[in-house]
Chains A and B, each alone.
With several copies, the nearest count.
Chain A
Amino acid sequence: MKRYSRQTLFSPIGVDGQERLRRKHVLIVGLGALGSSIAETLTRAGVGKLTIIDRDYVEESNLQRQLLYSENDAMERMPKAEAAKRRLNEVNQDVEIHSIVGDADVPLLERLAPNIDLIMDGTDNFDTRFMMNDISHKFHIPWIFGSCVGSFGSTFTIIPGKTPCLQCLLKKLPMRGQTCDTVGIIAPAVQMVTAYQTAEALKILSENQWALRNTYVTFDLWQNQTLSIKADSIKNADCYTCGHYPTYPYLQYEATTKTAVLCGRNTVQIRPATSTNCSIAVLADQWKKAGYKVSANPFLVSVLKDEHRMVLFKDGRALIHGTNDITIAKRVYHSLIG
């Protein structure tokens, strides 16, 4: 165990905590900036088993902030889950890496959940996060929310039966259009979120729950702001996810984002879970600022991103033209809307 000597010397972990880490299985959903950094830290730390999920492949514009990936991965358009696994194996062969190239949808998460000790948030959209939140509570698995954009980030550790859940915090799916593809992102903001996330993960995995932070942290590294906010009082006893009579709404078919390939049109339709009233003007404005070609009328907005054109209707429905591939369509959609 010489390999982990600096971690076992840290007295709250110690040799026993290291052995507990080794027996744990962590699910990382999403392997973008947050997910790849979390995966590297937990692999180096000697967690027993990681299951990593991502539907995307490595692109040149990922390299600025996404650890694990090399220029070669971008050139080969390697799926992130495979590229990550390859590098993680070079870094620590002791850790069993189970990689899944695909969508983290309800059936997949329900199948994986029974064997998982902790879920880490590496996603870039609230659709998936609300699913993870329901899975976490249905199967009594802690999960650690994290998100960032620009120089701004947030994180919160959610313990079923104890803390408020993501629904208690957010009430409804936010839809804002502030994404890494519209307002950018700097790597230190990612690192700060994952430093908080992985510190909490090490506490849970080494069974030091007493040390958990219990606050929602939010910061802006460029503006030099940090806030640590108590959240206990907003735990909602009637919450459909963590309340007394849970229904796990985001695991129901009606609540999941629907996609359909429009035959012969080289187009995918995406219909979000809840029909939000999206502010087309705000989105159009943000996309213009980010340098995309945009045209809008009161009913819809059309935006060109690389070789795809997305048309977004006021009710939140979107058509992604230029592809028959649902994965690509979802990527375009979430990169522009969040």
Chain B
Amino acid sequence: MIKLLLFAQFRDQIGKQEMQFPIEGKTVKELKEILKESYSFDELDSVMVAINEEFVTDQEIIREGDIIALIPPVSGG
């Protein structure tokens, strides 16, 4: 099981700030695909992904107990 932290529009879309997910062993890329299919998350290409408070690439493999944050870049200012 891993914990997914949602920020900004992802949080709004799901309506909560965290979710549990049985996705250990898969890559970040695969996680994104699942999120796209199951929750119709958009624009996952430009989202930043952090595991345990460290940015990772799409190739990173997810491990049991990881805390994964999806951080959308926003442009406002």
A interface with B by C-beta (< 8 Å)? 30, 32-35, 121-126, 146-150, 152-154, 169-176, 178-180, 183, 185, 193, 215-216, 218, 220, 223, 225, 227-231, 233-234, 279, 282, 334, 338
Chain A residues within 8 Å of B43, by CB: 174-176, 279, 282
Chain A residues with CB under 8 A of B77:
30, 32-35, 121-124, 146-148, 180, 193
User: Whose C-beta in chain B lies nearest to the C-beta of A181?
Assistant: B76
| B interface residues, Cβ below 8 angstroms from A | 5, 7-9, 11, 17, 42-43, 45-46, 48, 50, 53-57, 69, 71-77
Q: Are A225 and B50 in contact (CB under 8 A)?
A: no
Residue of B nearest to A153 (CB): B74
Question: Do B74 and A230 have beta carbons less than 8 Å apart?
Answer: no
11 example contacts (A-B, Cβ-Cβ < 8 A) are as follows A124-B76, A152-B74, A154-B73, A169-B48, A170-B73, A185-B76, A225-B5, A227-B5, A227-B50, A229-B54, A279-B42
Given known A-B contacts A150-B8, A220-B7, A231 and B73 have beta carbons under 8 A apart: no
Contact present for B53 and A227 (CB under 8 Å): yes
Q: By the criterion CB–CB under 8 Å, are A149 and B56 in contact?
A: no
Which A residues are CB-close (under 8 A) to B42? Answer: 279, 282
What B residues does A32 contact at CB under 8 A? 77
* Residue ID in chain A nearest B53 by CB atoms: A229
What's the count of A-B pairs with C-beta under 8 Å? 119
B17 touches A179 (CB 8 A): no
Asked whether, in the complex, the Cβ of A223 is within 8 Å of the Cβ of B76, the reply is: no
Q: How far is the CA of A179 from the CA of B7 in the complex (A)?
A: 15
Selected from B9, B46, B69, the residue in CB contact (under 8 A) with A229 is B69
| A169-B55, A227-B50, A229-B54 known; A149 vs B75 contact (CB < 8 Å) | yes
Cβ of A229 and Cβ of B73 under 8 Å apart? Answer: no
Contact for B73 among A33, A147, A228, CB less than 8 A: A147
Q: Which residues of chain A come closer than 8 Å to B45, judged between CB atoms?
A: 171-172
Tell me, in angstroms, the Cα distance from A183 to B75 when the chains sit together.
Answer: 12
A302 to B69, CA, bound (A): 34
Q: How far is the CB of A104 from chain B (nearest CB, A)?
A: 13
The residue that A174 contacts in the complex, of B17, B54, B55, B75, with Cβ under 8 A, is B75
Smallest CB-CB A-B distances: 4 pairs: A338-B75, A174-B46, A149-B76, A230-B54
Cβ–Cβ < 8 Å partners of A152 in chain B: 7-8, 74
Nearest Cβ on chain B to A31's Cβ, whole angstroms: 10
Known: A229-B69, A230-B53, A233-B56. A218 touches B7 (CB 8 A): yes
Q: How far is the CB of A40 from chain B (nearest CB, A)?
A: 15
Q: Which of B7, B43, B56, B74 has the most chain A CB atoms inside 10 A of its CB?
A: B74
A223: contacting residue among B17, B50, B75, CB under 8 A: B17
